[in-house]
Every structure is written in C-alpha cells, then in structure tokens.
C-alpha cells in the first residue's frame, strides 16, 4: 500500500514480536508519516525493533509510544535509531518507565539531532539527576521546541537544572513541568531562568507546591520577561499574598495572555488584589480562577474589574460558591462589558434567582458566546428565564441542563475530575 499516511494501532496486543513486524514495514514504507502504538506493551525489546525500523525510514514524522513499559534500555535503543533519522519531528514516550539513566541516553542521543521538535516524557521516573541530563540537552540542541516533563520527580533541584539549561537555549517555546514536587525554591530558579530566556512562550507548573513566596519569584520573573504568553500555576498553594505578587507582575507585563491560578487558595482578598492588577493590564485575554474560595464578595470584585476591562475574553470562576448574589454582580458587569466571550460558572451554587439575573444580562449583552452553568441549582423557573433570554440573545452555547438530566450524586466533587478541566 503506497497511500497510507497515518496508522493508529493503540490499545491492541501487539507486544515486542508485533513491533518487529511493524518495524519491518517501516523500513520499506515511503508514505507513512504518523504511527501510534500506544498501550501495546512492546517493552524494551519492541522499542529496539522500532528503532531499527527508524534507521532507514525517510517519511515518518510522528511516533507515539505512550504506555508501553519502555525503560532505560528501550530509551537508549530508540535514540540510537534516531541518530541517522532525518525526518522524525515528534516522539511521544509518555507513561513509560524511563528513569535518570534513560534520560541520559535520550539527552546524549538527541544532542546533535537536527529534526526532532517535540519530546514527550510525561509520567516517567525521571528525577533531579535525569533533569540535569535533559538540561544538558537544552544547552546543545537547536531544534527542540516542546518538552513535556510533567508528572516526574525532578523536584527543586531538577527545576534548577532545567532553569540553568534555559539560560542559553534559544529554541524551546513550550515547557511542561507540572506535578514534579517543585516548591518555592524551584520556582525561584525557574523565575531566574525566565529573566534571560527570550524564546519560551508557554510554561506549565500546575500541581506543584508553589506558595506565596514562589509566586513572588515568578512575578518578579514576569516583570522583565517579554516572551511568555501562557502561564499555568493551577492547583498549587498560592494564597492572597501570592495573588498580590502576581497582580504586581501583571501591571508591568505586556506579553502574558493566558493565566491559570485555578485550585489555589487566593480567596476574597486575593481575588480583589488580582483584579486590581488587571486595571492597567492590556494583554491578558484568558484568566482561570476556578476553585479558589472566592465567594460572592470575590465575585463582586471581579465584576467591578470587568466593567472597565477591554481585553479579557475568557473567564473561569467555576467552583467558587458565588451563589445568586455573586451571579447578580457578574450579570451587572455583563451589561456593560463588550469583550468577554466565554464565562464559566459551573458548580457555583447558582439558583433560579441567579439565573434570572444572568438572563437579564443576556438581554443586552451581545458579545458573550459561551456560558457554562452546569452543576448548579437551577430549576424550571431559572431555565425559563434563560430560555426567554435566548429569544433575543445570540449566545451560541449554554451548558446548564446536565443537572436536570442526571442525579447530582453523579457530579460529586473529586480532585481528579476538577483537575481534568485544566488539562
């Protein structure tokens, strides 16, 4: 077959023997560009077979080997196969068993590689030592643009190594370091790296142990940084003081467009301080503050900021228990705000009264296109208010009927489900 360009063999029972057959096909195939073998338990032996197939292949650009029990030996074999390969641009090794030794093999093998741009090492067993090897790779490699080290164990020391590697790196644009036990000290090292880096545009530090002190370090790094546009600090330990520091950083920053502080503990005071920082900010377009104990008073502070803000297009306030009073404050802001297109208010304890306030706002607001009201306490009366508003409003997506169709017990709040919305 000389026409097939994409092949997905995920979740079969291919094993190492099947991988050998697939590799044989790679040697002679001249059309396949994307191959996915995720969750097939090919192991180190199967990885070696795939590597052999890559040596002479001249068309494959994306290889996905997620969750295949590949360890340090398999990682070594794969990068050996890439030494002569000049076409592969993306290698996905997520959810395998690669440790510090495997990270060293990967770093050594990719040091002189000139084609790979995306490397996925999510959920492996890489620690601080492995992070040092990856940092060495960042210093030497001139093509890698996306690196995912989420859900490893690099810690503060590993974060320091990665930050050191960023100082001289001129190609990496996206870095994922979430779920790596990084705390305030690690945040300081990363912030130091941001001061000198001129290429990184997206940084993910979600599910870290960064608190108010770490937030201050990150904010300090943002003041002089002119390239970062996406920052994820979700599900950390940032409180109202940390929110103040982030707000201070936003006052002078002119590049950041997306910020997530979801799942922290900024509270009412933190919400107030954060939105005050937005008054003079003219670049932030997406702000996520779900699950932050903001309440109706915090919603009032956010609403006050929305009245004057002309850049924010998406706001996530879900899971903040703003209730009917908070919904009223936000509805008032929607009557004058002409830029917001997406508003998430799921799990907010909004009832029929709050739905009426929002519906009244929809009568005049002509910019909001997506309103998320699922898992609230809206009944028939509230639904009627929303339905009446739809007769004149052009909002295209309203999510609020799930609560009626399925029993509330199906929507209990658990940490994994909350975090899935951020992924």
Asked, for residue 145, whether it belongs to a domain, the answer is no
In whole angstroms, how far apart are CA 14 and each of 18, 24, 49, 68, 93?
Answer: 5, 14, 12, 10, 17
Q: Encoding tokens for residue 123?
A: 């959920």
Q: For residue 321, give every residue at least 6 positions away whose Cβ sits within 8 Å of its Cβ, in sequence order, or none.
A: 293, 294, 295, 296, 348, 349
Q: Give per-residue pLDDT as tens, 221-245.
A: 998 899 999 999 999 999 999 999 9
The pLDDT assigned to 2 comes to 73
Give strand ranges (E) for 130-244: 146-148, 174-176, 202-204, 230-232
- Please identify which residue in the block is written with the tokens 């040697």: 27
Give strand ranges (E) for 40-190: 62-64, 90-92, 118-120, 146-148, 174-176
pLDDT of residue 405 exceeding 80? no
Stretch 389-408: mean pLDDT:
60
Q: Check whether residue 246 and residue 276 sit in a common domain.
A: yes
Distance of alpha carbon 12 from alpha carbon 166, whole angstroms: 39
Q: Check whether residue 223 and residue 253 sit in a common domain.
A: yes
Instruction: Estimate to the nearest angstrom the gap between the alpha carbon of 75 and the chain centroid.
Output: 25
Range of lowest pLDDT (243-257, 286-300, 313-327): 243-257
Quote the domain boundaries for residue 391. 293-402
Q: Check whether residue 258 and residue 298 sit in a common domain.
A: no
Distance of alpha carbon 184 from alpha carbon 204, whole angstroms: 15
Asked, for residue 163, whether it belongs to a domain, the answer is no
Helix (H) or strand (E) holding 45: helix 43-56
Q: Give per-residue pLDDT as tens, 325-363.
A: 999 999 999 999 999 999 999 999 999 999 999 999 999
Instruction: Estimate to the nearest angstrom the gap between the alpha carbon of 404 and the chain centroid.
Output: 31
Centre a 10 Å sphere on the Cβ of residue 80 and count the other Cβ atoms it contains.
17
Stretch 384-406: mean pLDDT:
69
Contact, 373 vs 347, CB < 8 A? no
Backbone angles phi, psi at 47, to 5 degrees: -65, -35
Q: Encoding tokens for residue 224?
A: 């002089």
Q: Check whether residue 316 and residue 232 sit in a common domain.
A: no
Q: Check whether residue 321 and residue 368 sit in a common domain.
A: yes
Stretch 20-45: mean pLDDT:
95
Q: For residue 417, give every residue at least 6 positions away whose Cβ sits within 8 Å of its Cβ, in sequence order, or none.
A: none
Q: For residue 81, give every residue at least 6 positions away whose Cβ sits within 8 Å of its Cβ, in sequence order, or none.
A: 50, 51, 52, 53, 54, 55
- Please identify which residue in the block is written with the tokens 């979740």: 11
The pLDDT assigned to 1 comes to 55
Total tally of structural domains belonging to the chain:
2
207 pLDDT band, cuts 50/70/90, is very high
Q: Check whether residue 396 and residue 317 sit in a common domain.
A: yes
pLDDT of residue 410 exceeding 70? no
The pLDDT assigned to 416 comes to 42
Calculate what percentage of the chain has a pLDDT beyond 70. 93
Contact, 121 vs 153, CB < 8 A? no
The Cβ-side half-sphere exposure at 348, using a 13 Å CA radius, reads: 34
400 pLDDT band, cuts 50/70/90, is low
Q: Check whether residue 387 and residue 319 sit in a common domain.
A: yes
Domain boundary among 265, 284, 303: 284
The CATH number given to whatever domain includes residue 315 is 3.80.10.10
The pLDDT assigned to 390 comes to 86
Asked, for residue 263, whether it belongs to a domain, the answer is yes
Give strand ranges (E) for 360-399: 370-372, 397-399
Asked, for residue 338, whether it belongs to a domain, the answer is yes
Range of lowest pLDDT (148-157, 312-321, 360-369): 360-369
Q: For residue 163, give every residue at least 6 positions away whose Cβ sits within 8 Å of its Cβ, in sequence order, or none.
A: 189, 190, 192, 193
pTM > 0.85: yes or no: yes
Asked, for residue 418, whether it belongs to a domain, the answer is no
Contact, 49 vs 18, CB < 8 A? no
Contact, 159 vs 131, CB < 8 A? yes
Would residue 236 be called left, alpha or beta, if left means φ above 0 and alpha means ψ between -120 and 50 degrees?
beta
């Amino acid at each position: 077959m000389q026409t097939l360009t994409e092949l997905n063999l995920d979740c079969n029972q291919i094993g190492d023997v099947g991988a050998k057959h697939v590799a044989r096909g790679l040697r002679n195939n001249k059309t396949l560009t994307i191959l996915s073998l995720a969750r097939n338990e090919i192991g180190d032996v199967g990885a070696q077979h795939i590597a052999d197939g890559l040596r002479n292949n001249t068309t494959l650009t994306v290889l996905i080997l997620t969750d295949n029990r590949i360890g340090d030996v398999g990682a070594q074999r794969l990068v050996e196969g890439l030494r002569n390969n000049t076409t592969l641009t993306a290698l996905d090794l997520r959810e395998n068993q690669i440790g510090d030794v495997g990270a060293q093999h990967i770093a050594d093998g990719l040091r002189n590689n000139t084609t790979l741009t995306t490397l996925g090492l999510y959920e492996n067993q890489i620690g601080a030592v492995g992070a040092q090897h990856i940092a060495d790779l960042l210093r030497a490699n001139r093509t890698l643009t996306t690196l995912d080290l989420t859900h490893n164990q690099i810690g503060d020391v590993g974060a320091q190594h990665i930050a050191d590697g960023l100082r001289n790196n001129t190609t990496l644009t996206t870095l994922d370091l979430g779920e790596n036990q990084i705390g305030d000290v690690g945040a300081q090292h990363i912030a130091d790296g941001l001061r000198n880096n001129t290429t990184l545009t997206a940084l993910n530090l979600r599910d870290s142990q960064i608190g108010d002190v770490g937030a201050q370090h990150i904010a300090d790094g943002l003041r002089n940084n002119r390239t970062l546009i996406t920052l994820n600090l979700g599900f950390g330990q940032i409180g109202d003081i940390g929110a103040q520091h982030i707000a201070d950083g936003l006052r002078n920053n002119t590049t950041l467009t997306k910020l997530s502080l979801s799942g922290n503990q900024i509270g009412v005071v933190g919400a107030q301080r954060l939105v005050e920082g937005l008054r003079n900010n003219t670049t932030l377009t997406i702000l996520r503050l779900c699950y932050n104990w903001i309440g109706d008073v915090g919603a009032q502070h956010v609403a006050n900021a929305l009245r004057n803000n002309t850049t924010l297009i998406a706001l996530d306030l879900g899971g903040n228990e703003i209730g009917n009073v908070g919904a009223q404050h936000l509805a008032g802001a929607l009557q004058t705000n002409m830029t917001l297109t997406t508003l998430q208010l799921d799990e907010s304890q909004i009832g029929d009264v709050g739905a009426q306030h929002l519906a009244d706002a929809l009568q005049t607001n002509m910019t909001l296109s997506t309103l998320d009201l699922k898992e609230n306490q809206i009944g028939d009366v509230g639904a009627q208010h929303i339905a009446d508003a739809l007769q004149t409003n052009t909002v295209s997506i309203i999510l609020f009927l799930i609560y009626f169709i399925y029993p509330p017990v199906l929507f209990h709040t658990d940490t994994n489900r909350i975090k899935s919305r951020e992924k």
